[in-house]
Structures are given as C-alpha cells and as structure tokens.
C-alpha cells in the first residue's frame, strides 16, 4: 500500500499578512522539494496578534479571499494539499477556521469548536465557536484526514467524532501558548489522541516565544515519527496505511468501544 508523506511547518504568523503568505510559500516549496504531499501549517496562519484585539476582524477574510487564493496557487505550483489556519469573516466576531486546499480549491473547512477561554485567555471575546459535532475530512491516497484546532485537543470527543467518521489521520494546527506545564500537556495530549484512536496525529504549532513549538507527527501507537524543538522549521514523515491497519488489527479499540459521543 502507498504511504503519504506529510510535512508540519512550524512558523510564527504575525500581523503582516503579506509576510505570512510569503513565509507560507517558502515553507510549502521547501516541504514539496522533499516530496511532501500534505503540508500542515499552524492555527492563525493568515494573521496573528498577541494579545488578541479588534484587528482580528479588520484582517478577517472570506473563503474566496486573498489568503485562500494564495494557498491554492502554492498548492497548484507544488502539487500538494495545504492545511492552514485562517481568520475568517463571521459577522460581529470572526471564525477561527482551518482550510484544506489543493489546486482545485477548498477541500474541507473546519471552524474551531472549543475556544481558548482558559489560563487567563478569553478567545471567545473575539471568536465565534464552530458548530458542535462538526466533522470535516478529506482523502489523500487512501488515507482520510480529519481536522481539529489547538484547544480542541483537550476534548477527546472531537478526535473521537473524526475517527468515527472514518479519519485515519488527525490534523491539529495550533497556537499552543507557553506556560507552566503547557509543553507537557501538548505532547501528552497529542500522544493520547493517537493511542486512544489508533490514528496518526499531525500537529503544527507556533514556535517560541509565544507557542511551545514541538510540532510533531505521531503514529497510531503514540510514537513520534518526526518532530521539531521550539524554533522555526519543517518535520516530515511517511504515513503508512499498512501500519495503521496492523495496529488497528492487534488493538481493535475502535470496534470495542461501548459509548457514543453526543454533542451538548
């Protein structure tokens, strides 16, 4: 069975939208030159400001705006699928949105369900939550990818609903803010979502000093196949369908589950 080569690109988006697009184009070209078929970028890749303020709405875009058009251009130029975080126009507030884009356009769109109202932050002051239970997936060479965002990682039901919908790979763009034990939480939860769902996990974070970094590609047994430290960079790994099926055969947790997930 063919494998799918995936790249996680760890970089720090800023308030410079044009600069963000230029950096994304560079990272995509670099990843593609190493054979990547899927390129995963962080949450808020289109625009990021810390602390959050009204400029989020001023710099929000639609799904047919400049950011997505640029992703499509890069995807077409390099024959890849790109997953990235977008600040999307959404009425009084904005949506924290992920898009999966290839040469033909947007393949999947996911709006973050669990907003980061924790550890002294209130993302909901600026962001509207996505619909509970929303499932967005896309397929590449026989592997189904499901999308979730950053703080969603702390809620295992999100990953569960994606896997119940057929996802083999959990894609997690993030801006995992630094703080006491936050790096430990990030790496532990990534491994937990992989192990409990017997799924690959592909996670792209912002680097230090705001994010923890530690972008990783993890196999269905929780083993890190490739990863980064706290700086800017790219990590690549092949996702092997045969290995996924082997793990799910010897550890059939998906078949043995006794509970359904129901949105509140």
Per-residue model confidence as pLDDT tens digits over 98-116: 999 999 999 999 999 999 9
Q: What band does 263 get if pLDDT is binned at 50, 70 and 90?
A: confident
pTM of the prediction?
Answer: 0.97
Of 133, 155, 169, give the one whose Cα is nearest residue 40.
Answer: 169
For 171-194, how does the pLDDT look when each residue is reduced to its tens digit (9 = 90+)?
999 999 999 999 999 999 999 999
CA–CA distance, 150 with 159 (Å, rounded to integer) = 12
Residue 63 to residue 207: CA distance in whole angstroms:
26
Point out the residues that are catalytic: 43, 112, 150
Of 218, 148, 207, the residue nearest 183 (C-alpha): 207
User: Residue 90 phi/psi, 5° resolution?
Assistant: -160, 60
Question: pLDDT for 48-70, tens place per residue?
Answer: 999 999 999 999 999 999 999 99
* Cβ atoms < 10 Å from Cβ of 63: 17
> Per-residue b/e over 158-183, b at no fewer than 16 CB within 10 Å?
bbbbbbbeebbbbbbbbbbbeeeeeb
Upstream peptide bond of 138 is cis (omega within 30 degrees of 0): no
């Amino acid at each position: 069975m063919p494998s799918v080569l995936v790249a996680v690109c760890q970089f720090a988006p800023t308030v410079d939208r044009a600069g963000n697009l230029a950096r994304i184009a560079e990272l995509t070209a670099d990843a593609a030159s190493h054979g990547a078929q899927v390129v995963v970028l962080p949450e808020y890749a289109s625009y990021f400001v810390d602390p959050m303020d009204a400029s989020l709405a001023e710099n929000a875009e639609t799904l047919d705006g400049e950011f997505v058009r640029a992703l499509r251009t890069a995807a077409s130029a390099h024959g890849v699928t790109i997953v990235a975080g977008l600040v999307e126009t959404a009425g009084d507030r904005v949506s924290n949105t992920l898009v999966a884009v290839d040469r033909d356009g947007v393949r999947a769109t996911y709006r973050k369900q669990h907003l980061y109202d924790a550890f002294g932050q209130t993302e909901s002051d600026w962001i509207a939550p996505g619909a509970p239970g929303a499932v967005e997936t896309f397929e590449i060479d026989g592997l189904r990818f499901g999308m979730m965002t950053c703080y969603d990682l702390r809620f295992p039901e999100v990953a569960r609903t994606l896997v119940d919908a057929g996802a083999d790979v959990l894609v997690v763009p993030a801006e995992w803010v630094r703080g006491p034990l936050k790096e430990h939480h990030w790496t532990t939860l990534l491994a937990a979502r992989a192990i409990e769902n017997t799924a690959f996990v592909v996670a792209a974070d912002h680097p230090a000093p705001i994010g923890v970094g530690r972008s990783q590609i993890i196999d269905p047994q929780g083993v890190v196949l490739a990863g980064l430290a706290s700086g800017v960079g790219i990590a690549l790994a092949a996702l092997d369908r045969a290995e996924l099926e082997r793990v799910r055969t010897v550890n059939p947790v998906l078949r043995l589950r006794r509970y359904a997930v129901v949105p509140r």
